[in-house]
Structure 1
Amino acid sequence: MRLAFIMSELGSGLRRNLTMVISVILVTFVSLTFVGAAGVLQLQIGQLKGFWYDKVQVTVYLCTDVPSNTNCVAGPVTDEQKNHIQELLGSAAVKPYVEKWTFETQEEALTHFKEQFASSPMADSVEAGNLPSSFRIKLTDPEKYQIINETFAATPGVDSVVDQRKVLEPLFSMMNIATWVAVFVAGLMILCAALLIATTIRLSAQSRDKEIGIMRLVGASKTVIQLPFVLEGVIAATIGAVLASGAVWAMVTFFMNGYLANGNSGMPMISPNHALKIYPVLILIGIVLAGISSAVSLRKNLKV
């Protein structure tokens, strides 16, 4: 009987306060869309960092079938030349400056490329022969790049020596700033949503003072009186969170994975599958936000 009464009051409240319910849906939708956008930004930053992480080092690119400088006019790098480069890395003149190094074959470079650019149309058009094999060197002191460059730049079989650190430091700085901005905006929007939901639910409850008074007189508990209002907020916020999830999905699918991926083939973009983890988080935030905001607002503003 009590459950039936609560559901009856809930249905009545949703019908009578349709305008307020719609306002909660819209507030939650806008707020959680910002939160979802911040989450997408975090995933995109992680994607970029994951791709460029191995680049924050000195990379010695080896010659391929297509010569790009005088070191490569004799053709692609030979096994003897690779062995010579390895010997140089272990020599007394170079080893003190090298923390560790790895060798990436053309096949490994292709695999890595396809993983990072899975959403790009160019992923299927690149073959292993188009990508150079390379020695990736992590230095004990990044400032000693010039020593590595002087040692390997003119070595037979070496196409180029690139210090990715100098290129990527500004990019990572911008990413960090974007991260903090996204977190700040998301936190501000959640706070605004909580205040607006609390105000809306409180006004809805105050508009039904007579009903609440009657419920008090017949001995209804505080929980029974407040629960329909809390459920109103939770249902409305859940609908708003679902709509926000849809907006985030559209953003990732049509804007990032579609427009940006096609227009910027050199940058790895997240796919819709990467964003799947955001949707349940948005719905959970909406439910918890509405539940807590409604309960606190009713407890402080209604004498029940």
Structure 2
Amino acid sequence: MRLRFVLSQTGQGLSRNLAMTISVILVTFVSLTFVGAAALLQVQIGNLKNDWYDRVEVSAFMCPQNSATPACAGGEATAEQIDEIGALLESDAMAPYVDEIYVESKEAAYEAFQEQMEDTVWAQSLTVEQMQVSYRVKLVDPEQYQIVADELEGRPGVEVVVDQREQLEPLFLILNRTTLLSVGLAGVMIVTAVLLITTTIRLSAMSRRRETGIMRLVGASNFFIQLPFMLEGAIAALIGAGLAVGGLFLGVKYLIEGWLAGETPWVQFVDTADVWSVAPFLVLAAIVLAGISSIVTLGRYTKV
């Protein structure tokens, strides 16, 4: 009997403030969508780091003919200098950092250049002798790339040391800043959602002050009086959370899995399983939003 009464009061409150309830649902939907998108973006950044950092190589390019680089003032790298770099990379001191070493000869560099720059003036004008020998080093731990780079830089015969990670860091910086922007927008929308839920509960409580006064006179507890108002805010917030989860699911399924993943199969994108892993936190966030709003409002506006 009590449950039926609470549910009827909740239904009446939602119908009386229908426009405000819809506003709460929409604001909660938008705010939790931003929160979920930020979480999925962080998962995506983690996937990219795990995938790309494992492929990070440190490349040491030896001095070619007629190089204008100050490090190559002594001319083209000699066979002894090339062998010294190879011996350094294969030494016991570098063993904890170096996983694999690949030496690209002038001939191999020339063939690769011809394949990449086919039918260009550069491909037709360069010769094998103008190419340079290089070492490509796959690392045991990509996080320790600087140790290997420092050992190679400044060595006789080394023109330049290139770390692929330096090319990836700007991308991850942009993605991280995008995440912060999403979190900031989500924060603003969450505050808006709290204010709207608070307003909805307040209006509902004020419109039913007479009923709550009668309930208090017949001995109803504070919890029993406040429960319908709490359920109103919780239901609206949970519907918004459900819409946010549904929007993220559809976006990932059709935009990412259905389009991006097919266009760039070498990239490990987030999938719908990641959405379901984020979904419980969005539902929990909706409950917390409704709970905070109820605590702020009910203590004042359900008093006789």
TM-score normalized with structure 1 length: 0.68
SS of alignment partner, residue 8 of structure 1: helix
CA gap 1:37/1:222 in 2 versus in 1, 3 angstroms? same
In structure 2, the residue matched to 1:135 is: 138
Aligned partners of 2:53 and 2:165 also within 8 Å? no
In structure 1, the residue matched to 2:288 is: 288
1:209, CA displacement in angstroms? 2.1
In structure 1, the residue matched to 2:216 is: 216
**Number of residues paired by the alignment?**
245
Report 1:71-220 matches (<5 A).
Answer: 88-91=88-91, 95=93, 100-103=97-100, 135-136=138-139, 138-140=145-147, 142-146=149-153, 163-220=163-220
In structure 1, the residue matched to 2:111 is: none
Give the Cα–Cα distance (whole angstroms) in 2 for the partners of residues 298 and 148 of structure 1.
Answer: 73
Give the Cα–Cα distance (whole angstroms) in 2 for the partners of residues 104 and 91 of structure 1.
Answer: 12
Give the Cα–Cα distance (whole angstroms) in 1 for the partners of residues 34 and 101 of structure 2.
Answer: 40
Give the Cα–Cα distance (whole angstroms) in 2 for the partners of residues 199 and 280 of structure 1.
Answer: 26
Please report the RMSD computed on the Cα atoms of aligned residues, expressed in angstroms. 3.3
Give the Cα–Cα distance (whole angstroms) in 1 for the partners of residues 283 and 228 of structure 2.
Answer: 20
Greater Cα offset, 50-59 or 20-29: 50-59
In structure 1, the residue matched to 2:247 is: 247
Instruction: For residues 273-300 of structure 1, give each alpha carbon's deviation from its aligned partner in whole angstroms, at most 9, with x where no partner exists.
Output: 2222111111111122112212321113
Note if 1:228 corresponds to 2:231: no
Aligned partners of 1:10 and 1:232 also within 8 Å? yes
CA gap 1:209/1:225 in 2 versus in 1, 3 angstroms? same
Give the Cα–Cα distance (whole angstroms) in 1 for the partners of residues 12 and 246 of structure 2.
Answer: 28
Instruction: For residues 40-82 of structure 1, give each alpha carbon's deviation from its aligned partner in whole angstroms, at most 9, with x where no partner exists.
Output: 211111111222223455168xxxxxxxxxxxxxxxxxxxxxx
Give the Cα–Cα distance (whole angstroms) in 2 for the partners of residues 216 and 19 of structure 1.
Answer: 29
In structure 1, the residue matched to 2:299 is: 299
Output the amino acid matched with 1:164.
Q
In structure 2, the residue matched to 1:113 is: none
Give the Cα–Cα distance (whole angstroms) in 1 for the partners of residues 26 and 184 of structure 2.
Answer: 21
Aligned partners of 1:56 and 1:168 also within 8 Å? no
TM-score normalized with structure 2 length: 0.68
CA gap 1:210/1:171 in 2 versus in 1, 3 angstroms? same
CA gap 1:54/1:269 in 2 versus in 1, 3 angstroms? same
1:17, CA displacement in angstroms? 3.2
Give the Cα–Cα distance (whole angstroms) in 1 for the partners of residues 26 and 96 of structure 2.
Answer: 54
Give the Cα–Cα distance (whole angstroms) in 2 for the partners of residues 169 and 204 of structure 1.
Answer: 52
Greater Cα offset, 273-282 or 161-170: 161-170
In structure 1, the residue matched to 2:40 is: 40
In structure 1, the residue matched to 2:13 is: 13
Instruction: Give the 4+ runs in structure 1 shifted more than 4 A.
Output: 84-88, 147-153
Structure whose CA Rg is larger: 2
Which residues of structure 2 form unaligned runs of 5+? 61-83, 103-135
Which residues of structure 1 form unaligned runs of 5+? 61-83, 106-132, 154-160
